Chains A and B, each alone.
Chain A
């Protein structure tokens, strides 16, 4: 309680300080008078000493002096900055940019890699992964029997939970909404130690029999958004995929499960045994005995005292035993026995699938390095500006020293000024951060996969921004301090400030060189990424991709039979052909650069070779629709129907591989499963399925008309075709018409997103586009900052040397020579920066070579071009000061001062 009273009295003092001051003054006057009455005024004053000092000492007891000084310094700094708004503006803007982009990138680093899961003791949660002992392959997907085995046989987890993502249609009133959710083991919430805010989580018996217990836990958000936060919902039913589920609980607000590599936040949770009901393609799945269907991930809570390494050893032992299990992948893969072993990772570090985490780390690391460079450039620029200011302020500081200000006090004041600037820059930087992170989220799949990204500032991010601002302030604030520290009073007062700044000059040159070097690194990075993007786009074989509309048709979800599928496709193509503005219509199973592919084992008719090849199912006119050119033979046509000879069109790689020196037309090959013989009728240019980095494998196209009802696997592919429509003119105008035709055939078919092939391809290039745009933007800005910095240094130098230049000119130096001299000075600075930058860029670019495509990280053209750009920028910045120098009037210059 004592300290509380003390605090209160201190506060009271701060609030009523004027009265306290008056009291103190009067009290001391009284003391003096009393003493004067006794021993005479002069003696009394001598004995008492300096009244003001004593008052200050007494006041210091209250502990507010430091605060006082701070307030004083801030006021002084604000006044000084208001007097030079240009300087303050440039500095704040530069810093806002540097701090802002750093804060934005950090917000993603934090969310994806650093921030721990918001569950009790989340560091005791471990994610179960597996790795191959023969390759770098890492995976985390388990079948339900696998999961059951690990759950029941391990002795290191107090609980092992399983979860898998799923999308389902939930009906609210008369509306149906497609919602993402998770299928989880009954102990899921228990293992995470999360309890629903209302209702309960799952009971063990609700995850025992497939399809028996339709119970669901809803997310807090879904409950608020679609059910109006109605508490009565617990115990009532909602329809998921037309099956009634009883709502048993509402998850706590913000609960989003363990993973971030999802397209959308999970909004509902159902027991794993309900998987066949909520997942449209798992209907016939024998969940408890199908070892081949791995769709679950597992995370366990370690028993107290068990370390991660111990647990991993235990689980690896189990993996060994599993090799005797019915599932062949544990003992045998296509290319021989798969040597797999358990890999246990803290769940906090497994929020993104381990296999993809490395890519995320590389990309984020690259971005952090880039924005770090920008901040360094900004700091160098600000330090250089501050240095120039410090030189101009020598006189002011000299006067203050002469008046008795302590050097420490002056340093404190100068640092306060720097911090004030950097904090203002940081505050403006938050706006930049918000803007940048929103732009980043706007890119589709910037990390080459689905991720729950969000743009926003929270406490952690704000703290980072604040810390960064202070660090920045100290960084650029301390360097110019040396000047103030070494300042001697008398010379500072005497000499003209313009002639005494030689010392700061060398340092400013160093800053310019550093800035040029850093921005060279940025420019090299930017041009490498721009070329990567261009090369990546060039791999797309589609002609005029902006004129082709792509529509995803998911007939599997409608549970059509084979005959109906056939009828639907045929009528849809016929209907669309008649629409005005439609040039060609085609159906295709796998869109180029669509992220996935299908393959089959095939062999030659004679059995001379056996291989695995990619295949695609296409309707006739497909090649004309996307403009893939025919190399030889013919394309598919309407004659290739069911019952006619089985045909295939192959790509160039396949032709070269299997018929190296022959004409492949007319040759035959067969599928191993289901057995089927097809004849090659044409060779088409190569195309890529997964993405632009995909190596082109042997690939063949079979006509859709010959694919119906062939076998379950091919049927499942046929049920998920994409519609492609080549249009004349603006394709977006046709979207409504096409949608109408689809709904005329089946009004419940969820005709997915409609987009052009171009935007579809660009979406797949999210990372490349983001890198290219961000780096180019930042590099241009950096070059601009460098130009400003160089201009500042040269203008200052010219102003300082006016006398010298005047003397030269008076002695007969032509003004052209003066001009050349300044330009050469600039060139020397830029050249030194470029040399240093080259070395740094060569070292750094090696680290990002995995992100590049079709361009070497040491590409000489890039380096030469970038150097050229910097030289031009540098000379342009130097031109104005150089002209000014060449126009110095010798008479005026000599009379100057």
Chain B
């Protein structure tokens, strides 16, 4: 979900960029492990939520850019609403009565 959201914000972005983005926005609370980032990206490629193509990075290096596909957008919607449901539920439980 976080990766998909980042891609909507950033547009096409490479793996390193996604990791940096999540880390910065969450003010370093969420450390994205490379160990889970790349397998996750591969899984999403299979599912067809994201597509990959090679492009130039800001410092003129070849880098693989991922972008969201329409299926990915739909999936993001599904996951966000799921997430909100959970958050609401948790909030209700921990709220002082």
**A23 at the B interface (CB under 8 A):** yes
Q: How far is the CA of A142 from the CA of B67 in the complex (A)?
A: 80
**A49 at the B interface (CB under 8 A):** yes
Contact A5 B48 (CB under 8 A): yes
Q: Which residues 40-56 of B have a CB within 8 angstroms of A? A: 41-43, 45-48, 52, 54
Q: Which residues 262-296 of A have a CB within 8 angstroms of B? A: none
Contact A34 B16 (CB under 8 A): yes
Contact A30 B62 (CB under 8 A): yes
- Tell me, rounded to whole Å, the shortest Cβ–Cβ distance linking A344 to chain B: 57
**Which of B2-10, B31-39, B81-89 forms contacts with chain A?**
B31-39
Q: How far is the CA of A315 from the CA of B57 in the complex (A)?
A: 88
**Which of A56-64, A503-511, A580-588, A743-751 forms contacts with chain B?**
A56-64
Q: How far is the CA of A633 from the CA of B52 in the complex (A)?
A: 109
**A31 at the B interface (CB under 8 A):** yes
**B22 at the A interface (CB under 8 A):** no
Residue of B38, B52, B71 with highest tally of chain A CB at under 10 A: B38
Q: A1-43 toward B: CB 8 Å interface, digit per residue (1/0)?
A: 0100110011001000000000110111011011100000000
* Chain B interface residue count, Cβ-Cβ cutoff 8 angstroms: 23
**A48 at the B interface (CB under 8 A):** yes
Contact B48 A27 (CB under 8 A): no
- Tell me, rounded to whole Å, the shortest Cβ–Cβ distance linking A89 to chain B: 44
Q: Which residues of B contact A13 (CB under 8 A)?
A: 46
**A54 at the B interface (CB under 8 A):** yes
Q: Which residues 55-83 of A have a CB within 8 angstroms of B? A: 55, 57-63
Q: Which residues of A contact B71 (CB under 8 A)?
A: 2
Residue of A9, A35, A60, A61 with highest tally of chain B CB at under 10 A: A61
Contact A48 B57 (CB under 8 A): no
Q: Which of A33, A35, A58 contacts B38 (CB 8 A)?
A: A58
Q: Which residues of B contact A61 (CB under 8 A)?
A: 39, 42-43, 46
- Tell me, rounded to whole Å, the shortest Cβ–Cβ distance linking B15 to chain A: 6
A27-B42 in contact given A54-B34, A54-B35, A57-B35 (Cβ < 8 Å): no
Closest to A31 in B: B16
Contact A57 B48 (CB under 8 A): no
Q: How far is the CA of A5 from the CA of B72 in the complex (A)?
A: 14
Q: Which of A5, A48, A60, A63 contacts B34 (CB 8 A)?
A: A48
- Tell me, rounded to whole Å, the shortest Cβ–Cβ distance linking A796 to chain B: 49
Contact B61 A30 (CB under 8 A): yes
Contact A6 B48 (CB under 8 A): yes
- Tell me, rounded to whole Å, the shortest Cβ–Cβ distance linking A125 to chain B: 50
Contact B34 A47 (CB under 8 A): yes
Q: Which residues of A contact B48 (CB under 8 A)?
A: 2, 5-6, 9
**B64 at the A interface (CB under 8 A):** yes
Closest to B17 in A: A34
Contact B42 A30 (CB under 8 A): no
Q: How far is the CA of A31 from the CA of B13 in the complex (A)?
A: 12
Contact B46 A57 (CB under 8 A): no
Q: Which residues of B contact A63 (CB under 8 A)?
A: 46
Q: Which residues of B contact A28 (CB under 8 A)?
A: 34, 38
Q: Which residues of A contact B64 (CB under 8 A)?
A: 23, 26-27, 30
Q: Which residues of A contact B47 (CB under 8 A)?
A: 6
- Tell me, rounded to whole Å, the shortest Cβ–Cβ distance linking B23 to chain A: 11
Q: Which of A30, A59, A60, A62 contacts B57 (CB 8 A)?
A: A30
**B21 at the A interface (CB under 8 A):** no
Q: Which of A5, A30, A54 contacts B63 (CB 8 A)?
A: A30
Residue of A9, A31, A60 with highest tally of chain B CB at under 10 A: A31
Q: Which residues of B contact A58 (CB under 8 A)?
A: 38-39, 41-42
Q: How far is the CA of A514 from the CA of B63 in the complex (A)?
A: 66
Closest to A51 in B: B34
Q: Which residues of B contact A35 (CB under 8 A)?
A: 16
Q: Which residues of A contact B61 (CB under 8 A)?
A: 30, 33
Contact A62 B46 (CB under 8 A): yes
Closest to B48 in A: A5
Closest to A10 in B: B46
A27-B34 in contact given A9-B45, A61-B43 (Cβ < 8 Å): no
- Tell me, rounded to whole Å, the shortest Cβ–Cβ distance linking A895 to chain B: 57
Q: Which residues of B contact A54 (CB under 8 A)?
A: 34-35, 38-39
- Tell me, rounded to whole Å, the shortest Cβ–Cβ distance linking A384 to chain B: 46
Closest to A60 in B: B39
Q: How far is the CA of A173 from the CA of B73 in the complex (A)?
A: 77
Q: Which of B15, B46, B54 contacts A31 (CB 8 A)?
A: B15
Contact B34 A49 (CB under 8 A): yes
Contact B35 A30 (CB under 8 A): no
Q: How far is the CA of A9 from the CA of B35 in the complex (A)?
A: 23
Q: How far is the CA of A28 from the CA of B41 in the complex (A)?
A: 12
Contact B42 A62 (CB under 8 A): yes
Q: Which residues of A contact B45 (CB under 8 A)?
A: 9
Residue of A27, A35, A49 with highest tally of chain B CB at under 10 A: A27
Q: How far is the CA of A60 from the CA of B38 in the complex (A)?
A: 11
Closest to A34 in B: B16
Residue of B15, B39, B43, B57 with highest tally of chain A CB at under 10 A: B39
CB within 8 Å of B: which residues of A?
2, 5-6, 9-10, 13, 23-24, 26-28, 30-31, 33-35, 47-49, 54-55, 57-63
> Which 7 pairs across A and B sit closest by C-beta, in order of nearness?
A61-B42, A58-B38, A31-B16, A34-B16, A61-B43, A27-B64, A58-B42
Q: A6-B48, A31-B14, A57-B35 are in contact. List 6 more A-B contacts (CB 8 A).
A: A23-B52, A23-B64, A26-B64, A27-B15, A30-B62, A62-B42
11 A-B pairs with C-beta separation under 8 A: A9-B48, A26-B64, A27-B15, A30-B14, A30-B64, A31-B14, A47-B34, A49-B34, A55-B38, A58-B38, A61-B39
